[in-house]
């Protein structure tokens, strides 16, 4: 099983600031098969990024994904008030899909 460790657990920032969220895998993930999701209270997760750096439909360009191998990053260049939520990474490089434990952006 590929274990994904997200850091930090909680990130405290203000609107307009830059957020950097990390996702580290216990083994190398093939072909950049990492996705990122945003979840707000009482809602289902929403797909933000796939293939490590591809924005999903309708996702603003302030969201940027990068990384390879075992280290992946989600960057939000200028935080908007609606960006405060929990973010999860997911790998799909192995049969058992796994998620990170989440980073809370407050």
Residues forming contacts to another protein in the complex (CB under 8 A) are 31, 33, 35, 37, 43-47, 50, 56, 88, 90, 92-93, 95-102
Q: How far is the CB of 26 from another protein (least distance, A)?
A: 15
Q: How far is the CB of 35 from another protein (least distance, A)?
A: 4
Structure tokens at 6: 């997200």
Q: How far is the CB of 11 from another protein (least distance, A)?
A: 16
- Closer CB to another protein, 18 or 28, in the complex: 28
């Amino acid at each position: 099983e590929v274990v994904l460790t997200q850091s930090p657990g909680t990130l405290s920032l203000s609107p307009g600031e830059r957020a950097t969220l990390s996702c580290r895998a216990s083994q190398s993930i093939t072909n950049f098969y990492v996705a990122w999701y945003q979840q707000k209270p009482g809602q289902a997760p929403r797909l933000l990024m796939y293939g490590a750096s591809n924005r999903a439909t309708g996702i603003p360009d302030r969201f940027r994904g990068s990384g390879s191998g075992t280290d992946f990053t989600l960057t939000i260049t200028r935080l908007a008030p609606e960006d405060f939520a929990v973010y999860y990474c997911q790998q799909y490089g192995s049969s058992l899909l796994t998620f990170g434990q989440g980073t809370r952006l407050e």
